[in-house]
Amino acid sequence: MLVERGLRVMNVDVIGRAYDIAANYLRRTGAIADNSATNDALLELIVQMFHRGETNPIRLANKAISHFEAAKLAA
């Protein structure tokens, strides 16, 4: 992650890889639509976890999948 003048800059590569992994899995299971549109709820989960300090894309994806599926079950 980059830090410049006290501002945190998102590492787009980590977030992008985590989103790709999670979205691919959720599309295959039918949890999200099988199209090229970005799922905003999933992306927001990943960004929030990244801001909390998680920087491993696989761990981010797994946690996002768990949270996303739990939220769908609760609704």
Helical (H) or strand (E) element with 25: helix 12-29
What amino acid is encoded at 62 in this protein? Answer: N
What are the E-state strand segments in 1-75? 2-4, 7-9
Q: What is the pLDDT of residues 24-68, one digit of tens each?
A: 999 999 999 888 889 999 999 999 999 999 999 999 999 999 999
Confirm whether pTM is higher than 0.85. no
**Residue 51 contacts by C-beta under 8 Å, 6 or more apart in sequence?**
8
Give the HSE-up count for residue 15: Cα atoms under 13 Å, Cβ half-sphere. 19
pLDDT confidence of residue 4: 52
